[in-house]
Chains A and B, each alone.
Chain A
């Protein structure tokens, strides 16, 4: 750390010495700066576009906040965010990452949403020795899915992931399902894909341990058009809780067929993941969407503030709704939290341009973000930090302006999040 007593460093040195970064907005500061480049890769178009839809707004807010440059350890930097769209294509994601590394020379990479985006980007960064921050996919699929072995040292030096895993889903579900009296019979529909197979292998056995009877008709292929077999099994078993991880069109087809068979009248909790992340998924179901329970990796009621933009959850979501006329989604906070963590990572290193130094600093990083504290020192495995999954419910809105309110119903994995709603039985 350097201590040259210019007027600027006296003013800002205190903050920088603590390893945080200070937003320098003065014109003089912006002129004498070294450029810092941050790659931001997400699926903005293609079938996963629901995840990337809000990223343009987030990037605008971050660019606005960072326009004046930042000061880290007494040096002024200008910050450039280079965003790329994977078009939901994993091979394109890897290619974009390599381009950002080789042609643009990014100092740190951010990859957001789904294994199809994050895993190829993380692999490219690991190979090229560029620090990479990622969020929004189960960490197990990121860590073990890319070749790490349980009990062995982490094979990753540059890749760091934060966010939920199967354990958070388990704790949120147990906490959520205890809110309503049921016969504890859970029907599950997990597809034959990365998420579905992971929850079948890890989550289902833990639900059984917790005293739930799990009725699993077996994996189904995404794109299946007829579900009479599964519906019959659920109906005969008399399930009162239903849990599924489908894509929205599959869930719409399944749930309508289930309702044709009268299954919806016996079910007290419909707990969906993947479908139900975004309001459009639920609106497409019509009245059948009322009171579907969901789980959120971020929510506007999270009591945290983004260090980069200075926005809290409510301000961020209100701003988004005012600017676009669309309902806020949980992806807003998740994407912004990745930028928060990446900026904190750069600031934590002695020299943000030193990639090895940054990667080493992230391993010991505890960063504030709009999604809460991200702590890489207490993660379940090296290179991974925990993130919450909060139980929620889509309740028909009484006040408007949107068709549904997304209400927090439990907070087992982050007690700081206020529980404002009560879980309503689906068939009530």
Chain B
């Protein structure tokens, strides 16, 4: 029981890493990026190729820079235009992008299941032994630490830096921000870049804990989206709690019956949806419990 609870908390760390980029992008730009999962898988392929050449510790920072630049391009080429067309258009645009990316990655990398684990020796299955014959996977612990670090870093950026204040201003009222002299397009582009850069951390966690193929993105998107909805917006810390609740719901359901793992998560997600939409019409802001950041 204790070992399952520890496992759930650590799994929550993984979901939080997956979800942070998605939540950041929505809170800043009002865009639900349905290509989030595919972009994580793209990062994973990048890590696989670069990591094979120069080792993972060097590949990760390089990929963070690469994906930041990809984010800038993504914003300039697709998101900036799509978001002029209302709430639905970016959703469709990113959905289309995810399909293109899935098939592009299949064309380039083929159907093989790949994993980053062979690049790091035994780390993917090494464990700490706690008293009472409890083993805790080292990788899951590091993933949770990374999740906390990424969220803390982004929160610090948003609250304590000029760039963060600009991002918040842009997200709250683009027109007014522009009146005050903020280059909102540039700010939004940087925010997209940051969101994609956090995806590299998610890709590292994904690639080390399991294997992926070119079509693995949608499954990652689902967990990320559920964690974001359960946690709600307002602070990125809520994503961490959302991810924990998702993982706990899954693990508790799996304790009742192994088949319940995914269903438990979906149930928690649906409860969160009903809670947020109670007594009102549907909107993305309501669904994600968006509040003005204070």
Instruction: Answer whether A and B are interacting partners.
Output: yes
Using CB atoms and an 8 Å cutoff, list the residues of chain A in contact with chain B: 45-50, 52-53, 192, 217-221, 223-226, 228-230, 232, 248-253, 255-257, 259-262, 264, 278, 280-281, 283-288
Is B210 within 8 A of A224, CB to CB?
Answer: no
Type the 1/0 row for B101-136, where 1 means its CB is closer than 8 Å to any CB of A: 001001000111111011001101111000000011
Quick one: which of A45, A47, A260, A280 contacts B126, CB cutoff 8 A?
Answer: A260
Could you tell me if A278 and B112 are in contact, using CB atoms closer than 8 angstroms?
A: yes
Question: In whole Å, how far is A420's beta carbon from the nearest beta carbon of chain B?
Answer: 26
Q: Report the bound CA distance from A284 to B138 in whole Å.
A: 19
Contacts of A284 on B, CB cut-off 8 Å?
112-115, 117-118, 211
CA distance A232 to B115 in the complex (A): 25
Kindly identify which residue among A46, A218, A264, A286 contacts B115, using a CB–CB cutoff of 8 Å.
Answer: A286
Query: Is B74 positioned at the interface, with any CB of A under 8 Å from its CB?
Result: no
**Residue among B127, B215, B258 with the highest chain A CB neighbour number at 10 A:** B258
Give chain B residues whose Cβ lies under 8 Å from the Cβ of A230.
258
Cβ distance A282 to chain B, nearest Cβ, rounded Å: 9
Complex Cα gap A285–B119 (Å): 10
The one of B137, B211, B213, B254 that contacts A260, using a Cβ cutoff of 8 Å:
B137
Complex Cα spacing A45 to B223, Å: 24
In the complex, whether B146 has a CB less than 8 A from a CB of chain A is: no
Chain B residues touching A, range: 35 or more
A259–B11 CA distance with the chains assembled, in angstroms:
16
Known: A46-B215, A249-B210, A260-B135. A224 touches B262 (CB 8 A): yes
Q: Give the chain B neighbours of A47 by CB distance below 8 A.
A: 213, 215
> Is there an interface contact between B112 and A280, defined as CB atoms closer than 8 Å?
yes
CB-defined interface of B3-35 with A at 8 Å, one 1/0 digit per residue?
110011001001000000000000000000000
- A259 to B126: give the CA distance in the assembly, Å: 7
Contact A49 B110 (CB under 8 A): yes
- B260: nearest residue on chain A (CB-CB)? A221
Contact indicator B247/A226 (Cβ below 8 Å): yes
Candidates B14, B127, B216, B250; contact of A249 at CB < 8 Å? B216
CB-CB under 8 A from A219, the residues of chain B are: 258-259
Chain B residues at the A interface, C-beta cutoff of 8 Å: 3-4, 7-8, 11, 14, 103, 106, 110-115, 117-118, 121-122, 124-127, 135-139, 209-216, 219, 223, 247, 250-251, 254-255, 257-259, 261-263
The chain A residue sitting closest to B210, CB to CB, is: A253
- Closest partner residue, chain B, to A258 (CB atom): B125
Q: List 6 A-B contacts (CB under 8 A).
A: A49-B106, A50-B113, A226-B247, A249-B212, A262-B135, A285-B211
Q: In the complex, are the beta carbons of A256 and B261 less than 8 A apart? A: no
What residues of B have a CB within 8 angstroms of the CB of A46 in the complex? 106, 215
Q: How far is the CB of B260 from chain A (nearest CB, A)?
A: 8
A280 and B114 in contact, given A47-B213, A287-B122 (Cβ under 8 angstroms): yes
Is A221 touching B110 in the complex (CB atoms < 8 A)?
no
A221-B111 CB under 8 A given contacts A226-B11, A252-B117: no
Residues of A within 8 A of B259 (CB): 192, 218-221
By the criterion CB–CB under 8 Å, are A223 and B110 in contact?
no
**B215: A residues at CB distance < 8 A:** 46-47
Q: Are A252 and B210 in contact (CB under 8 A)?
A: yes
